[in-house]
Amino acid sequence: MATLAADPFPIELDLPALGLVVIDMQRDFVEAGGFGASLGNDVGLLRAIIPTTARLIAGFREAGLPVIHTRECHRPDLSDLPPAKRDRGNPALRIGDEGPMGRILIAGEPGADIIPELYPIEGETVIDKPGKGAFYATPFGEVLKAKGLRQLVFAGVTTEVCVQTTMREANDRGFECILATDATESYFPAFKQAAIEMIRAQGAIVGWTATTDQIREALGV
């Protein structure tokens, strides 16, 4: 056991049952011409967390604990893309359209892959998910169970969309969830702050928050 100096109160980490989940650090969300940009967002904001997220991932690797990556993407034939998702709003390019990094948010295209700075290493699990949450229509839950995980640290983008959705899904399934506040980002700074506060309010109603340094210290790296 190791104590993590988290908010709103410290949490005892059971290291053999702890894993890191890095949500959707894909070129489509952080590079020009991708899905995030097609929705009208300033994707530059998200790039600021790349070095911190790399340090967090390195800490888990050094401690010998699992790192699981997710990618929001769809099959090339769009059979897992509900029309309600594709037809939403008035984006510059829709999911499946040809963009500068290949087809927007489609599995196997350069834009849908994880950025080189945070690329998975041999043996790490990558979950492709058609929704915002990582449990829906994926083997994520079975993977966590097979690895014997009970506590999850979350990083990635965007804080209030895919990260928070997955944290809430995990919390309902009995996992203790910790958000790494400096390894997650939103296109909307106010939404990031609000998500952090709503997660840890009411006695950690969804989970805990901690910085990358605090997490690395608890890991002993």
Query: Which residues in this chain contact ligand TIU in the complex, by CB under 6 A?
Result: 24, 29, 39, 72, 132, 157-158, 161-162, 187
β-pair type (102-103, 18-23): unpaired
Min. distance of Cβ 92 from ligand TIU in angstroms?
13
Minimum CB distance to ligand TIU smaller for 28 or for 176: 28
Min. distance of Cβ 133 from ligand TIU in angstroms?
10
* Helix (H) or strand (E) run with residue 142 in it: helix 140-146
Of the listed 129, 132, 182, 192, which one is catalytic? 129
Min. distance of Cβ 186 from ligand TIU in angstroms?
7
Q: Is 49 exposed, middle or buried (0-12, 13-18, 19+ CB in 10 A)?
A: buried
How many residues are there in the chain?
Answer: 221
Q: SS3 for 209?
A: strand
Minimum CB distance to ligand TIU smaller for 17 or for 39: 39
User: How many CB atoms within 10 Å of residue 96?
Assistant: 18
Residue 162 catalytic?
Answer: yes
Q: SS3 for 74?
A: strand
Minimum CB distance to ligand TIU smaller for 118 or for 157: 157
Residue 147 catalytic?
Answer: no
Residue 129 catalytic?
Answer: yes
- Residues with catalytic roles: 24, 129, 162
